[in-house]
Amino acid sequence: MGYIKKEIQNLIKDMDETFTISLGVRNWLRKSIYPKHNLILKSKDGYCCTNCKKTFHSTARAGEYLTCPKCKETLLVRMKTLQYQIFKDDFRILDYINGYFVLRGFEVLSTYNNNQIAHRYQEYQRLVISKDNIYLLASNVFKNYMGYPSVAYNEKHIRWRVLGGQYRWHMSRGCIYWGELERDLIDTPYYYCPIEREFKPYASEDIERLLQRVLDNPTSFELLSKLGLTNLAIHCDRFVNKGSFENRFGVTKDYLPFMVKHNITYHELEVLQVIKHMNIKIIRKLSELHNFTELSKYLDMEKALDNGLNKNNEHLYRDYLDFAERLHLNMKDKRVLYPKDIVKSHDELMRQVETIENQEIIEKIKTRYEELKDLSYKDDKYIIYPVPTMSDLIKESEVQNICIRSYNERYANGETNLFFMRNLKNITKPLVAIEVRDKRIIQSRGKGNDDPTRLQKAFIAKWENEVLKGSVLYA
């Protein structure tokens, strides 16, 4: 719990006096949320949808999901003898008040009891977004029992409190009702900003960061939207330079029709700025590379594509160039920059670099482990922990046939962060290696650079949400 600044205290008072649940919200709930909180009841006479009352035939079993042929809702199948069932969903209302965007978080609780369905909802959270900060407010009805959040319906709201960064993973990600926003933005600099149109596809993501950009850059956001560059509009904070088109976008105005036609993304624009070639296929291939900026310092990127560079070997290529530079090779020599066999060349340079590794790096890696060990995480099947020693890096590379040992110096010097994921049943056996940098997971690799399995990816995502997003690595 944190101290609430005076300006936020005053805002809370204004919000409590102003905010309501309008008829528009209630109608939206009836159309968007409530229909999903229904069942398909199975009996000897057939299947009956509690949403539209349609009776039909099927072979679905109780416990499976089935799409009703009339209302098209996909609902849980239960036996008609069912007495009780509950449903929960989150939704949010986006408001604007006193220079702040506010995302109000609600939980909907629907109860099926003896053929009757009752709905109720409770506001438990407010995300207050200013130009400089984001405050997560929680009502006293929001509870957190040993890491399990819940909403108490038997209590009345009394007060709001500020939650710290470690609670950010509790933020509601429910669907958003936008209907109040246009009214709120009358006579503000944001009235002509098409916020709903541009941000609706990103509603389930970190939309608070996008709204923060608009608060600080409404003119840039409006301009990009009017030009038809909607994928660039979400990065409006990066197009605030005044003057010519080239000064703002890094390319001349001749490129505008091409940019609009393909509605290019920010990463695609970064590629276009470098290659100056209006070929969308090449641009999109290159924009898939996480290391495009680093690689383009040395390479003709189109030539590198022809030489075999792709998103699967880009990390290998980047490491190869890093080795070449550390070994003081000629970084203008085409034979160095475009090797015939990148894997063989990478391994050869890595062996050369390993001969110059020293005890200082070994000790620094041990220190990094001590610094990061609080970010370890496990459940009943998997565990993630930071790389402990140089020998562990070498073993991971040899067993998994990946190049993680080449990251030793960057890891030791704090330029990147490396973690191992293991199965608790065999914690010594390499499974997945993970790199975290620039407030995100850069890569996660299994044996032979394979992607993790679906279950492994789910555990990594859970670790990111519950541990990393509240840590210094994401600060």
CA distance 195 to 141: 31
**Structure letter (DSSP) for residue 450:** P
Q: How large is the average pLDDT for residues 402-424?
A: 92
What digits encode the pLDDT tens for the residues 245-268? 999 999 999 999 999 999 999 999
Torsion of CA 19, 24, 25, 29, to 10 degrees: 170
The more confident residue out of 4 and 331 is 331
Q: How large is the average pLDDT for residues 280-291?
A: 95
Burial class (CB in 10 A: 0-12, 13-18, 19+), 45: exposed
What digits encode the pLDDT tens for the residues 111-152? 999 889 999 999 999 999 999 888 889 999 998 877 788 899
What's residue 406's pLDDT? 83
3-state secondary structure of 91: strand
What's residue 1's pLDDT? 46
Beta-bridged to residue 65, according to DSSP, are: 76
What's residue 7's pLDDT? 84
Mean model confidence pLDDT for the chain = 91
Backbone angles phi, psi at 69, to 5 degrees: -70, -15
**Structure letter (DSSP) for residue 193:** -
pLDDT for residue 168 is more than 80: no
Q: What percent of the chain has pLDDT over 90?
A: 74
Least confident of 95-109, 158-172, 190-204, 224-238: 158-172
What's residue 305's pLDDT? 94
Q: How large is the average pLDDT for residues 23-28?
A: 95
Question: DSSP of 352-390, one letter per residue?
Answer: HHHTT--HHHHHHHHHHHHHHGGG-EE-SSEEEEE---H
CA distance 327 to 406: 13
- Give residue 5's pLDDT band: very low, low, confident or very high (50, 70, 90): confident
What digits encode the pLDDT tens for the residues 345-388? 999 898 778 755 677 888 999 999 999 999 999 999 999 999 99
What's residue 474's pLDDT? 87
The reply to whether the predicted model has a pTM over 0.85 is: no
Least confident of 22-26, 215-219, 350-354, 428-432: 350-354
pLDDT for residue 461 is more than 50: yes
CA distance 102 to 14: 12
pLDDT for residue 42 is more than 60: yes
pLDDT for residue 239 is more than 60: yes
What's residue 223's pLDDT? 92
Question: Tokens in use for 408?
Answer: 């030793």
CA distance 128 to 433: 37
The more confident residue out of 146 and 197 is 197
The DSSP element (H or E) to which 6 belongs, if any, is helix 6-18
Put residue 57 in one of left, alpha, beta given phi > 0 → left and psi -120 to 50 → alpha: beta
Question: Tokens in use for 19?
Answer: 């905010």
Question: Tokens in use for 161?
Answer: 């409190």
